[in-house]
Structure 1
Amino acid sequence: MKITSYETFIVPPRWLFLKIETDEGIVGWGEPIVEGKAHTVQAAVSELMDNLVGKDPMRIEDHWQVMYRSGFYRGGPILMSAIAGIDQALWDIKGKFYNAPIHQLLGGACRDSIKVYSWIGGDRPSDVAQDAMEKVKAGFTAIKMNATEELQFIDSYEKIDQVIARVSAIRDAVGPNLGIGVDFHGRVHKPMAKVLAKELEPFRLMFIEEPVLPENNEALRDLAHHTNIPIATGERMFSRWDFKKLLEDGYVDIIQPDLSHAGGITECKKIASMAEAYDVALAPHCPLGPIALAACLQLDATAYNAFIQEQSLGIHYNKGNDLLDYIVDPAVFSYEGGYVTIPDGPGLGITINEEYVRKMSEIGHRWRNPVWRHKDGSVAEW
């Protein structure tokens, strides 16, 4: 079997899909994307695919190593996301060739389903208590929210009080048993992160996420000594080499690699195994489309330390198009009792509605991250 061609599709709300075709009629789908940089990743995919057309798609490990190592300059969000989407598509082809879900080719499943959480609020969260109640009524047992708006290095306690009021309102509305993840989103610098983490302790959170930017991960040492809330991070880390020191230092409790950013299924399986050796949990990052989620679930099936999965249904970014719009059978992602069953169809376990993908790619998108500024005019972390 040989790779004969490929296509990329920039589709709303902010996604990039990849289709790889073979001479045996088997096609694979991947989702290589950096949110806000879809066209840049599209170009990187094109450059990498130059070396893959005409090759055997089954040699996934070799293709991964060539894509990573042969470019001399390696790593980073653009290249690793391009590799990730190609890797997903190659695994999809391999699973379809053997008529087996990808998790069977990775050693078989160690679970039948996994807990999922749903987003509430938005970039500037407000009425999150009502949102949380609606998610509980829909059957979710865990939610995640952005903690705060922009924060200066040293900011007012008024903003801290606003965060605490929102989390308190959720606890009052839904009771003590709902899992709550609070995403600092890298908006919080170390001084205020210490304050905020301490103030959040009484609410018995599931985790705090990305309490500092990944380039400041050394600050996790102080935070870990400062709070008993589990610390999660990793969505902006792109390879096992990025995660190596984080795991060695021992100040993180949950890692969150993104299977569309961190080298795909091949690399994230290795990252998950590294984390297991350090007794660290796995919760893959995935506020993305259906291909990315399907890839995550295939990995979750085989990773013993996976405990919860992010998914984007109804997330504030999905304006106009949502998670289920691009697949033929939305029931593959049906959530029941706060869990989703691992897809067991061939490959990724989903069937892409290619007609709809092509239609929406004619619309495309140029989604960009918002640019925030502090009151003094300086740029703020989003």
Structure 2
Amino acid sequence: MRITEVEPILLRGDRAYRAAAGAEEATDNGDWQLLVRVGTDEGLTGWADAETLAPAAVAIIAGQSMGIMGFRTLSELLIGENPLDVERLWDKLYVGSAYYGRRGVAMQCLSAIDNCLWSIRAQAAGMSLARLLGGRRRDRITAYASTLFRETPEAMEEAARGYVSRGFRAVKFGWGVFGEDPGRDRELVAAARAALGPDRHLLVDPGWYPVGWKTPGPMRSRRQAEALCDWLADYDVGWVEDFIHPERFDEYAYVRARSPVPIAAGEQVATIWDFQRFIGEGCVDVIQPDLSRCGGVSVATKVAGLAEQAGIDLVPHSWLTHLLTGYSLQLIATLPRARFVEFNVSQSPLTAGIARASFALDADGAVPIPDSPGIGVEVDLDFIRAHRVN
């Protein structure tokens, strides 16, 4: 079997990332979305999404290569290769893009391609990705609703009650207006905890800009980060997430050693080498590789091994389309210990329309993990054709 196509597909939507003023749902990145399709001469196809600067990613995957190794496009490196040689191809892509890549947009494109190759490998074996990776340890997992902070305590309460009525046993509020007013921050968290009650999990993602996501500003100091963890503990927060600059490993380790609240992070860490440092230096209680950013399934499975050795939990970051949810669920199925899957309830019409999946909550707030060949998620080709711009 040989790779015949590596296609970046650029989709355009009409919604911007935004937090909601009232209790209505927030919106994820609904303006641009990149998909990657890898095709083979035997008809097997892998699909994946990538959360990145989508227009730039198209050139990295299928633009113009240069003559020297290290400056090649990813498609040129892959055409004609055997898609089953996933680990070898990861190394080839990493070295072949080394002078413009290694992290950032190039790594996010590499991640999507790696995911596609693992999907093809599972389809070729006639089994789900989880079984290919070593076997299913579970067939369902508790989902947490992942959304943005609302602007008022009243809106927070109404939104939280809505997630309870839908059956969620856990909710994560992130970013939005959080960080603009310390007094309001506490009121918003207090309102969420009151509405969720004592038996449901409340998770908080403050973002690593203290003035919110709209305007980049100075990072939190150590004193501010410690103080944030201290008062969040008053509301029985299950974890505080990604609230320190992602490259400040020393800062994470310092705050984690003093925090009364578990620390979760890792969505912006990439390559196994950086995860080795991040986990080895004691930065987190919950590691959160994002399979569309970290290096794909090839890296995430190695991170799972590191997490098991360190005695920490792994909960993938998966705030994107159902494709990313599908890959994350397959990884979760293989873990010795698993807590949650992140469920993006803030999907825009663009991210929601790309893939079809029946991720419905059961009575306990869990979602089933597909066991069909590949990842158990199908793309909507008509929707993709209607929104494609390249």
Secondary structure of 1:201's counterpart equals helix
Written as runs of structure 1 = structure 2, the 5 A alignment for 1:21-170 is 21-34=39-52, 37-46=53-62, 47-73=73-99, 74-122=101-149, 127-146=155-174, 149=177, 151=179, 159-170=181-192
Match of 1:347 among 374, 378, 390: 374
Please list the CA deviations of residues 60-87 of structure 1 after superposition, one character each: whole Å capped at 9, or x if unmatched. Answer: 1110111113433452121211111101
Matched residue pairs, number?
Answer: 349
In structure 2, C-alpha distance between the alignment counterparts of 1:94 and 1:225, rounded to whole Å: 41
SS at match of 1:30: strand
Matched, 1:176 2:198: yes
Q: What is the rounded CA distance, in whole Å, between the counterparts of 1:361 and 1:128 in structure 2?
A: 36
Q: CA deviation at 1:359?
A: 1.1
TM-score normalised by structure 2 residue count: 0.84
8 Å contact kept, 1:235–1:258: yes
Moved more, 293-302 or 62-71: 62-71
CA distance in 1, matches of 2:151, 2:274: 30
Instruction: Classify the secondary structure of the residue corresponding to 1:118.
Output: strand
Residues 15 and 289, structure 1, Cα contact 8 Å, conserved in 2: no
Residue 319 of structure 1 aligns to which amino acid in structure 2?
S
Q: Indicate how the Cα distance of structure 1 residues 55 and 221 shifts in structure 2: closer, same or farther if over 3 A, else same.
A: closer
Any idea what the Cα deviations from partners look like across 1:19-41, whole Å, max 9, x if unmatched?
Answer: 1111111111121331xx11112
Partner of 2:4: 4
**Which amino acid letter does the alignment assign opposite residue 186 of structure 2?**
I
- Which string of whole-angstrom CA distances, capped at 9 and with x for unpartnered residues, describes residues 123-167 of structure 1? 867622211110011010111112673759xxxxxx222111111
RMSD between superposed Cα atoms in Å: 2.0
Q: Report the 3-state secondary structure (helix = DSSP H, G, I; strand = E; otherwise coil) of the residue aligned with 2:318.
A: coil
Amino acid at match of 2:229: A
Identity %: 28
Aligned partner of residue 9 in structure 1, secondary structure: strand
Asked if structure 1 preserves the Cα contact closer than 8 Å seen for 2:196 and 2:202, the reply is: no
The aligned runs of 1:355-370 (5 Å cut-off) are: 355-362=382-389
- Aligned 8 A contact 2:316 2:342 in 1: yes
- CA shift digits 1:148-188 (9 cap, x unpaired): 73759xxxxxx222111111112222211111111021123
Deviation larger for 179-188 or 258-267:
179-188
* Structure 2: runs of 5+ lacking an equivalent: 14-29, 63-72, 211-219
Q: Within the alignment, does 1:237 sit opposite 2:269 as a pair?
A: yes
- 1:299/1:263 CA distance change after superposition, 3 Å: same
Given that residues 208 and 229 in structure 1 are in contact (C-alpha distance below 8 angstroms), is that contact kept between their aligned partners in structure 2? yes
1:257 aligns with 2:279: no
- Give the residue type in structure 1 aligned to 2:87: E
